[in-house]
Structure 1
Amino acid sequence: MKKRIWTILAVLAMALLAACGSGGENDDTEQESSNEEEEIKALEVDFEVPDTAEVGETVQLKATVTYGDEKVKDAEEMEFEYWEKGNEEDSTMVQSTNNEDGTYTAEVTFDHDGIYEMYAHTTARDMHTMPKKSITVGDGAESEEDSGDSDSDDHGDHHTEGFGMHFDKPDSIKAKEETDLTVHLQMDDNPFEDADVRFEIWKDGSENHEYVDAEETKAGEYNAGHTFDDAGSYKMIIHVENDEGLHEHKEFQLEVTE
């Protein structure tokens, strides 16, 4: 009798263990499926800009932001940046209006003929993307010829088709305090990952150049900290390379205060 009881208890224990093991596998499978579903979500921005416009005409810029099937109504950042082609250093930032339905809009006008390029800078769900568009205002051709490539070369602008670089220029930089340097990179409207990014920094008139390696903290976002020893005007070149032979760089002017 006792032997039968022990046998029954042993069978029940084995069944219980099997059920627990099966449940664990199911839990793991469900967790993996959930993680896979989360991974395939992406921050998407449908950036709408007219192909052409007339000088002085009001042009609407519109961005529809989605995360998977969700309309993003609370983007952390949504602003437009535009510049005349070949003169990105002289760009204009425009804050958007959040229409609270996943769309963000702004209105701009252009005061002379030219070809203008623009980004829709968007940060949401811990990701950043910046789709790029262009618009031809008036004749456009003369401005494109005048702007040429010389200004672009002077500033070390990038030339690879589809490549985009946006430096989050700090509002203020103080000497002897660490400054956060952040740059966003993308290729064909997608985050440009696994790049080697380095900040080359020197004070105007100095031959001493410092090199600071950046770390990719998010997809396409590279960050480094740097402390400027003295107040004054500095130049900075952001170098970007990868294993496929890409090498892009762009120069910026920085002002450091006491």
Structure 2
Amino acid sequence: MRQVPNVTLNNGVKIGQLGYGVYKVPAADSFSLVTQALEAGYRSIDTAALYANEEGVGQAVRQATGDGGPLRREDIFVTTKVWNDSQGFDSTLAAFDESLHKLELDYVDLYLIHWPCPEQDLYIETYRALERLYHDGRVRAIGVSNFEPEHLRRLLDATDVVPAVNQVELHPWLQQSEVRAFGQEAGIRTEAWSPLARGQLLEDPVLARIAAALGRSVAQVVLRWHVQLGNIVIPKASSLARIRENRNIFDFMLDDGAMADIAALDRGHRAGSDPARVN
């Protein structure tokens, strides 16, 4: 299997373009599944305070990088996020301490604001806490999740550190062209959560036709589409077979015709929540 390529964030830090997401991975399964993902060649792991599985993620990372382990800590990129009820400067610093305690790691590679929560109107204050963590060297990069261009414009005007990443729902039925264009102009990398629309895409006839022609699964075609667009992508998987299948996307290409057919699938369909309505 080919190595997962890295992309470089705006501060020079590198992250694997394909990561392993653990949203809705039960706490009891997180250690074993993250361990399997690391063994399969993933080097980026995405968790969050909300997911209640930071302990298992940290345990897997520590085992892989401890005495006799096959990896070094700097080989693994760990992302976590501050949840909505912890927004605000002091609350965010406390939430980060709690996440780091659960992970039992010396630092986090990427720390994100999970949702802008516009009605709370705390994301500027929250981001300033992230800037403090960044300047103190406790995180290697900071960013946001589910931010729309209007939120990003305000954030950029009010703070100093340009977010390294904006993690958003993104898939062929919700291609987020405005968000991606804004990020590209501002130097913010776009990272796709729910890259398969929570499995809804797996029955799409256009994707099925492309997959059949290539002898690949629909999931592999969609993840390959993300990679060719330049997105960072973090699919969830609940079995070793699916972990390996999702990982095996770097030995084929989608041609211009397939990319155009997938581009035509955009319908503004969200499988998850609308950022304007999460508070």
TM bin (shorter chain): under 0.3
TM norm structure 2: 0.22
For the pair shown, the structure with the greater C-alpha radius of gyration is 1
TM norm structure 1: 0.23
Q: Which has the higher helix share?
A: 2
Q: Which has the higher strand share?
A: 1
Structure with larger RCO (C-alpha < 8 A, sep 6+): 2
